[in-house]
Amino acid sequence: MEATPQRLATIVAALQAKKAADLVVLDLQALAYPLCDYFVIATAESDRQAQAMADAILEEIKKQEGRLPTYHLEGYEYGHWVLLDLGDVVVHILQPEARSYYRLDELWGDARILPQSHA
């Protein structure tokens, strides 16, 4: 289940269009993480912004791929930490307090960070 470069680019572009802060793409493939190939982590300043980011990702993927892949969405109602699991890519959209508390970037510090131009 390999994420296409196009899907990653679509996710990153959708997040950037909604003014995501501190956007990071982690390549988990070398870590042999069994649940996905990539984490995308972004910061949202409010619950509405977090929800808008998740909506934009799904909308853009549907446009790009012609249909929505199977996905799972958690935390959307509250927007403090929205998790969008697309199978090969898991997107974490966190508000600043949650991002600094959970420190996913550090937790997955062994993963390779992809430059935004290649995501």
Q: Tens digits of per-residue pLDDT, 61-72?
A: 999 999 988 899
Give dist(CA 77, CA 25) in Å, integer.
24
Buried b (16+ CB within 10 A) or exposed e, 60-87: bbeebeeeeeebebebeeebbbbebbbe
Query: Which pLDDT belongs to residue 4?
Result: 76
The structural domains of the chain, with segments of one domain joined by +, span 5-118
- pLDDT tier for residue 1 given thresholds of 50, 70 and 90: very low
Place of tokens 């909506």: 55
Does domain 5-118 sit in CATH 3.30.1360.30? no
Question: Based on the number of CB atoms within 10 Å of its own CB, is 97 exposed (0-12), middle (13-18) or buried (19 or more)?
Answer: exposed
User: Hey, is 113 helix, strand or coil?
Assistant: strand
pTM over 0.95, yes/no: no
Give dist(CA 36, CA 55) in Å, integer.
21
